[in-house]
Structure 1
Amino acid sequence: MTIEIFDSANDLALAVSRQLAARVQSVAAAGRTPRLVLTGGTIATRIYGRLSGENADWRVAEYWWGDERFVPEGHEDRNDRQAREGFLDRLGVPDEHVHAMPAHGCDLSMADAADAYAKTLPEDPFDVVLLGVGPDAHIASLFPGHPQVHETERLAVEVFDSPKPPPERISLTYPALNHTRATWFVVSGADKAEAVAKAMTGTPIDEAPAAGARGLEETVWFLDTAAASRLPR
């Protein structure tokens, strides 16, 4: 596990955008299709806004999401809309490379929608899974005390009672999130400091789901000084 701490959220976002570009370039140069799992949230918006066609060809990568709000397609709450507006559309990523989760109104139950999404996941590991962390130490839509944190068979699950709105969501599970070469946590703000400390000091996943996520080859915590303020010295 590696920890990188930055003076500000802007510095963090710039560093992650550069490292993500370098990773996409290196994977593509090795003759593979870069496969990325995206996250949502404020810091993700800052990262996406700093991605540029000058430092990587984002069109060659494929994209999935760690979780999604089960609201209609194009709704402002959807993580895929945030990413499309942030960089996917701007940088010309082909629609066939964008694997959005099913939306409300797709004529599938949430359970069937989750299972359908699981079938889109690649057999080979992802190259990078980006994860935000909530103040309660949740990741994707795996929340403390919820049964989804103990799922070991299904790769994607339905969530009906998210403690933060909207309540209905679809989320990847640990078997999917951890099937990745690299896990990158991106966390900003003092309100996340306690959650970061819990996740990094062995708190059980029932209390801190972020503690259960890790990459096969690397796990990196990208933090600003506020988010890192409760870490042991």
Structure 2
Amino acid sequence: MAEHSWEKRVVVEVDPATLAGSVAARFVHRVHKRTSAGKTVHISLTGGSMGSAVLAAAAHDPRTAQIDWSRVHFWWSDERFVPAGDADRNDGQSRAALLDSIDIPAANIHSAAASDEGIELDAAALRYGQELAEFGSDEQLWPSFDICFLGVGPDGHVASLFPDRREILIVDQAVVGVRNSPKPPPERVTMTRPVINSSKRVWLVLTGADKAAALGLALAGASYASVPAAGAKGRLRTVFFVDQAAAGQVPPELIDGEY
């Protein structure tokens, strides 16, 4: 299968635990390969149970201890605008799963502001966009992520880009505030589609039969405005990593047994 961003691969594993281990092994391999070659690596993380499960599996990979983490920068495609230390914070979940156990400079972990830091939601989004811009280029005001992890909701949302809302259509800002989110908590900050889609690799990780319909629509080319997962595309690869329960509506010809 040729490498084109518009070709979406589907990799199926038997259950969530096996899936987390499989994705983690690929993640660790990619980061180890890039850093060993002296490259700086930017990774965009996601929240949710599978986002944490992948990082927890990576923490137990023997190669993780061999990585020069000073060359790696972590970001989040979205964050819940709640107080620091709140269990809903994506960064807290990621730190507990992996980041607190690796030797990485604090400055390489780029968290969005919390709601108790004396900053309003829109200002928090603007600040995160400005931090992204510090690692951008002449072509774009943000880094190009080697891997952008995304979860997918039953409604097809990715990051905090929900169906049929204004945020999914924004292309002139890197990060925006979200109010009255259809999924609690109500206030969030999220990267926009241009930032996500400038990633080299977009890896969407989803499990469960309740995600099968969203996955089917994303693969069928549904409108990204109504099914945001359909509009998430990496420049080199776009891969849906799923368990068998979520793969119930995937045509056999779309399943990649070799990747």
TM range (shorter): over 0.9
Using the size of structure 2 for normalisation, the TM-score is 0.87
Could you tell me which residue of structure 2 aligns to residue 143 of structure 1?
Answer: 162
Structure 1 distance, partners of 2:199, 2:68, is 19
Q: Which amino acid aligns with 2:62?
A: E
Report what 1:229 is aligned to: 248
Change in CA separation of 1:185 and 1:58 when aligned onto 2, cut-off 3 Å: farther
Q: Is 2:126 the counterpart of 1:118?
A: no
Q: Distance in 1 between matches of 2:115 and 2:176?
A: 15
3-state SS of the aligned residue for 1:221?
strand
Residue 169 of structure 1 pairs with residue 188 of structure 2: yes
Q: Give the conservation status (yes or no) of the 8 Å contact 2:24–2:58.
A: yes
Q: Shift of residue 228 of structure 1?
A: 0.9
Aligned to 2:153: 134
Give the Cα–Cα distance (whole angstroms) in 2 for the partners of residues 181 and 63 of structure 1.
15
Greater shift in the superposed pair: 49-58 or 89-98: 49-58
Instruction: Say if 2:73 is the partner of 1:54.
Output: no
Distance 2:36 2:56 in 1: 24
Letter in 2 for 1:46: A
In structure 2, what is the Cα distance between the partners aligned to 1:34 and 1:109?
A: 30
Query: For the Cα contact (< 8 Å) 1:149–1:209, is it kept in 2?
Result: yes
Native 8 Å contact 2:42 2:74 kept in 1: yes
- Residue by residue, what CA displacement relative to the aligned partner does 1:152-179 show, whole Å, maximum 9, x if unpaired? 1100000001111100000000111112
| Over 6 Å off, 4+ runs | none
3-state SS in 2 of match to 1:119: helix
Name structure 2 gaps, 5 residues minimum: 1-7, 137-142, 253-259
Gaps of 5+ in 1: none
Say which is worse superposed, 38-47 or 133-142, in terms of deviation. Answer: 38-47
Q: Secondary structure at the match of 2:241?
A: strand
The match for 2:105 is 94
Distance in 2 separating the partners of 1:159 and 1:89: 28
Following superposition, the deviation at residue 29 of structure 1 comes to 2.1
Q: Is contact 1:66–1:171 with CA below 8 Å preserved after alignment?
A: yes
- Is the 8 Å Cα contact of residues 140 and 172 (structure 1) preserved in structure 2? yes
Given that residues 58 and 91 in structure 1 are in contact (C-alpha distance below 8 angstroms), is that contact kept between their aligned partners in structure 2?
no
**Tell me, what secondary structure is at the counterpart of 2:216?**
helix
Mapping 1:1-233, distance limit 5 Å: 1-52=8-59, 54-56=62-64, 57=67, 59-60=69-70, 61-121=72-132, 122-123=135-136, 124-233=143-252
Give distance in 2, aligned partners of 1:101 and 1:200: 31
**More deviation, 209-218/45-54:** 45-54
Give the paired residue count: 233
% of aligned pairs identical? 37
User: 2:204 aligns to what SS in structure 1?
Assistant: strand
CA RMSD, Structure 1 to Structure 2 (Å): 1.2
SS of the residue corresponding to residue 63 of structure 2 reads coil
**8 Å contact kept, 1:24–1:58:** no
Amino acid across the alignment from 1:218: R
Task: Indicate the structure with greater helix content.
Answer: 2
TM-score between the two structures when normalised by the length of structure 1: 0.96
Deviation at 1:59, TM superposition (A): 2.2
Instruction: Tell me by how many angstroms 1:4 deviates.
Output: 0.7
Structure-1 separation of matches of 2:248 and 2:128? 37
